[in-house]
Structure 1
Amino acid sequence: MIERFYLKEYLSFKEVELDLKSGLVVFTGPSGSGKSILMSSILSSFGSASSDASLCESTVSWDLDANEHGIENDDVYIFKHIKKEKSRYFINNQSLPKKVMSSLSSNYLRHLSLRDFSDFENENLLLILDNRIKKQNHNIDALKNGYKEAFLEHKRVKKELLVIEDEQKRVTELKEFAAFEIKKIESVNPKISEDEELLEIKKELSKKEKALEAITNANAIFEHEHGVFSALDVLNIENSFFNDAMNELRAVMESAEERFNALDEVDIEEVLNRIEELSDLKRRYGGIKEAIEYKEQKIQELQKYENIEITKGDLASREAALEAKVKDLANKITALRLDELKFFRDDLNSYLKELYLRDAQVEIRDAEYGVFGKDEMLLKLNATDLQKISTGEFNRLRLAVLALKSEFMNKNGGVLMLDEIDANLSGEESMSVAKVLKELSGHFQIFVISHQPQLTSMGDQHFLVHKKGDESYVRELDFDERVDEIARIISGESITQEAKKFAKELLSLQK
């Protein structure tokens, strides 16, 4: 539920702070006092509406899962919309995009004044129907779980079979291509790092002549080696350091000379041709390692093509068995739903009668198989498509569907926000809406703007929105103040004793 709401500097409101209760929360007040502005501000704090308020802030106790957005689990979350030069949105001081904020809150907050068809979506209607079936101790959950598992497996196997069948049409071409690719790579027979070694040989060959000439010139130093030893003896200097250096230098020169002389046996044309072959593979497959891996992949594919008939037969048998299972389970689920449909329709129409609406027609027809079965629920109001009924009828029909759904809900169904749902209704119609909302308030926290005494009297909490001069204020009313406000709604600004008496009677009925 929303436990607290704070608003600062928005149009005629300077500052508002509301401590909110569960159940049915009613806002009343004269026209133009700012009730819709206040409702919009509450929605704005959750990113569900736009507002130019400096601050809209709501404190909620929702089981929010927002770890992926860097928000740690907590008992209480503070949703906040701040508007300075631009709008910014926060949950527990963690900045979030408006879209993310709205998405997170949409699991708990619904604005029923919008013409939203989600309550009439097939999945939602089937869920209500299935929960009613479950109440009769039918094992529908096990059937649905078994069906869903079989349906998804059938879908996977069928997709795999289609791939196999498509491959089979092209199997000769695919086999030839795989064999060609294997032969192409095997004809080169590349080795890991071979290209690097050959490039090093090519580099050595390119400088062989120049290197050998340099070695020959350098070897002249050894002709003067004896003279150095003699000079060191005359100078009485230990010559071991010079002896070690000359031996190391001699070894380096001999090794280099042997390495370059060994290249006499290398055919430069063969090296260049081999490098070109390996380069072609690298250009085609991305590298020597990749070419070898690709060859192994094609070998496996070739084996699969050889066994494609066996694989196809196995998959076809598996697909047929799963299809039969899916149809059998779907038919069993449909049978249970058809048995319950009459009672669903009767109970829905009972709510609609309370709401002074015409009967609804509900039927189940076959549709494409999906994760919920093969059933599609169609709902009309007195044979009229939902897109063509009035907004008032639409919202009252939604209330009836929500009432059916709430029979199987726990206490915390979230927050419903309604803007003047009882507008332009007669007293009896308004009372019927009030009774249904009161019933729903056992499962939802409901915010409603009302201009009718019947719904107003049902509130668990009643706020008056009013103006003094150009500034709007909101305050919670006690019993006597509620009597006066309901009397004002009944008789206008000139409150009569009869209106006060009727207001007391309405409020007394709620005790």
Structure 2
Amino acid sequence: MLISLRIENFALIDRLELVFGQGLNVLTGETGAGKSIILDAIDAALGGKVTSRSIRTGAQRALVEATFKLTPDLAQWLNEQEIDLLDEISLVCSREMTTNQTVLRSSRSRINGVVVNRQQIEQLRSRVVEITAQGQSVLIGQPAHQRDCLDSFGGAPLLQQRRAVFQAYTACQEAFAHLEGRRQSEQMRLQKLDLLEFQLKELSAAKLEEPDELEHLDQERQRLSHVVELQKQSYQVYQALYQNDGEADAAADILGEAEATLIDMVNYDVQLQPILDMVSAALAQVEEAGRQINAYGEGLEADPQRLETVEQRIRDLKQICRKYGPNLAEAIAYTERIQTELEELQGGGQSIEVLEQIYQERKAILVEACADLTQLRRSAAGELEARLVSGLKPLAMEKVQFKVEIAPSPPTAAGADKITFLFSPNPGEPLHPLTETASGGEMSRFLLALKSCFTQVDSVGTLIFDEIDVGVSGRVAAAIAQKLHQLSVHHQVLCVTHQPLIAAMADRHFRVHKQVIDTQDSQIPDRHLSNAQNSDVRTVVRVSSLDNHLTRSEELAQLAGGHFATEEISFAFGESLLAQAASRRQRQQLPPSSQSESLPDSDSQTESAIDRTLNNP
């Protein structure tokens, strides 16, 4: 339930605070008085569209704040969204807008002071408020919206089956996409299979094993290409280290003499022992190096055939690197990748036949789910037809016909049904699609009756009706008033109306009007709008709560036809409407068996009183 609404610098409203109550809340006022601005503010607070023109001229910031009664369902939703409670009784939804006079600069929504995204605010909106207006005739005429209405009326079982259809449809579409993708890529798959098989054959023939093979082969090629030089140089090193055939002594000989001398010296001074140890170790290393270089030189042999083999291997590996490289490590990794890809192309994936079977199986599941959904819809359609016709009869449409046509259509995520609301308001006339048959007044009554059908299944706390009574008068207006009050038993109802019969049924009545003020003196009395010529004069929207019989009577008289001959007649007329409204509210509380199926006589008497008063002021 909407508890209160605070508005700052929104459209023509400079500052306004409204407190709403349970039951039927009515907003009245002349055409253009600003009633729609209040509804637009509620819409804006709940994520509705706003522009820079939504902010009052001259202001840079606007704020709308709606406070709702906290319910267990809303408390659970807040917990799911990780939004803390302000208290145990209320939830506050606000929207702050800023502008640079030409462009909306920012718009930020908050719930209990926490900034939320558009998805969250839309979820909250669907839980707290539902707006019905005559302009919805375009929306209600759309087959998809009619289908959604029927499904919502069907309740949890139908909505659960619709979710099952959605899941089956999604699975079926995925299977079809895989099948079509496989069909379209079969030629490309075969071409790629041939290419990968050729590449793998070439790479397998190369026997790639060691990433460093090229470096090792290059070293071996250098050795095989310089065998003679290496033999000659190794002999020279051997002579220099171990055994010199020339006149000069080898390093081993020189170190041997030094060692012998140091041995004699140590006999006289043991401090030389470390030096002796180093020379002895050097001598041993030189002798070992000489033996090893000699063995290396003797082991060298020229091998032209091996050299040719190594060079050919190097050429082959470099060719592989140019094609699959840039180095052997990358070529080896590529070999492993194409082996895996080949396995998938050769049979790792599912064949077209298998994919076709999967698709047909999922399609059959979808068809069965759609059939179950259709059956539930037919059952819900019959109940909706009966309840809607019953709801329209008190609205001066006793002979109305209504039928929900369910025609087969290709399966979609919402089922395999095309839903059409067929309507005939006049006896003897055939059924036609709703929007092609219903007049403006008939559409207003249809929307109201349709909403009444959802009273028991709709958890929304506040229902808003924006001039749903346009195009009706007299007896029909009284019936609409009764229907709105019936709705207000289960929901809070907020209604914008021009009908005195409806306004008289209100539990809370608000009068909306425009006022011209001088910004230099906001207390100046009302001025005529045509006087607003200078920059100090502004137009604002004001709302008065009509809390007593006198003010309500005067407003009802204005709604009925303007000024009366005397204040006494005006007051008497308003009092009469209020008395009749009280009587109707009391009768609605009586058991059904004690109520007449037709409109009460007192309502007809009210119509006659209205006609007499307007014709003889």
Q: TM-score, normalised on structure 1?
A: 0.71
Inter-partner Cα distance in structure 1 for 2:541 and 2:379:
55
Return the match for 1:52 from 42, 47, 55. 55
1:179 aligns with 2:197: yes
Inter-partner Cα distance in structure 1 for 2:454 and 2:144:
12
- Structure 1 residue matching 2:18: 3-state secondary structure: strand
Inter-partner Cα distance in structure 2 for 1:188 and 1:387:
79
Inter-partner Cα distance in structure 2 for 1:392 and 1:340:
26
Report if aligned partners of 2:9, 2:63 keep a CA contact under 8 Å in 1. Answer: yes
Return the match for 1:401 from 427, 439, 450. 450
Inter-partner Cα distance in structure 2 for 1:502 and 1:478:
17
Q: Which residue of 1 aligns with 2:98?
A: 83
- Structure 2 residue matching 1:183: 3-state secondary structure: helix
Residue identity matched to 1:81: E
Return the match for 1:296 from 320, 340, 343. 340
- Structure 2 residue matching 1:407: 3-state secondary structure: coil
For these two proteins, the number of residue pairs brought into alignment is 477
Report if aligned partners of 2:557, 2:574 keep a CA contact under 8 Å in 1. Answer: yes
Residue identity matched to 2:323: D
1:218-229 matches, cutoff 5 A: none
Q: Which residue of 2 aligns with 1:454?
A: 501
Q: Which residue of 1 aligns with 2:412?
A: 370
1:421 aligns with 2:468: yes
Give 1:363 shift. Answer: 0.9
Q: Which residue of 2 aligns with 1:436?
A: 483
Instruction: Structure 1 unaligned segments of length 5 or more: list them.
Output: none
Inter-partner Cα distance in structure 1 for 2:404 and 2:359:
34
Inter-partner Cα distance in structure 2 for 1:395 and 1:291:
74
Cα distance, 1:148–1:40 mapped onto 2, change above 3 Å: closer
Inter-partner Cα distance in structure 1 for 2:479 and 2:445:
10
Instruction: Structure 2 unaligned segments of length 5 or more: list them.
Output: 57-61, 224-229, 242-250, 425-431, 516-524, 527-538, 587-617
Return the match for 2:579 from 502, 505, 508. 505
- Structure 2 residue matching 1:423: 3-state secondary structure: coil
1:333-412 matches, cutoff 5 A: 333-335=373-375, 337-338=377-378, 341-356=381-396, 359-382=401-424, 383-384=432-433, 386=435, 393-409=442-458, 412=459
Q: Which residue of 1 aligns with 2:608?
A: none
Residue identity matched to 2:406: I
Give 1:347 shift. Answer: 2.7
- Structure 2 residue matching 1:107: 3-state secondary structure: helix
Inter-partner Cα distance in structure 2 for 1:95 and 1:143:
35
Q: Which residue of 1 aligns with 2:562?
A: 492
1:222-371 matches, cutoff 5 A: 270-271=313-314, 274-275=317-318, 277-278=320-321, 280-282=323-325, 289=333, 292-304=336-348, 308=351, 312=353, 319-320=359-360, 323-324=363-364, 326-328=366-368, 330-335=370-375, 337-338=377-378, 341-356=381-396, 359-371=401-413
Inter-partner Cα distance in structure 2 for 1:57 and 1:475:
19
- Structure 2 residue matching 1:364: 3-state secondary structure: strand
Cα distance, 1:335–1:100 mapped onto 2, change above 3 Å: closer
Report if aligned partners of 1:47, 1:102 keep a CA contact under 8 Å in 2. Answer: yes
Inter-partner Cα distance in structure 2 for 1:444 and 1:474:
23
Inter-partner Cα distance in structure 2 for 1:501 and 1:23:
21
Give 1:403 shift. Answer: 2.3
Cα distance, 1:425–1:165 mapped onto 2, change above 3 Å: same
Inter-partner Cα distance in structure 2 for 1:40 and 1:146:
37
- Structure 1 residue matching 2:4: 3-state secondary structure: strand
Report if aligned partners of 2:420, 2:433 keep a CA contact under 8 Å in 1. Answer: no
Give 1:24 shift. Answer: 3.0
Give 1:426 shift. Answer: 0.7
Inter-partner Cα distance in structure 2 for 1:460 and 1:188:
93
Deviations 1:256-296 (A, max 9, x none): xx9xx9xx999577457535524532579998546523421
Q: Which residue of 1 aligns with 2:533?
A: none
Aligned residues: CA RMSD = 5.2
Residue identity matched to 1:299: E
Cα distance, 1:181–1:377 mapped onto 2, change above 3 Å: farther
Structure of larger gyration radius: 2
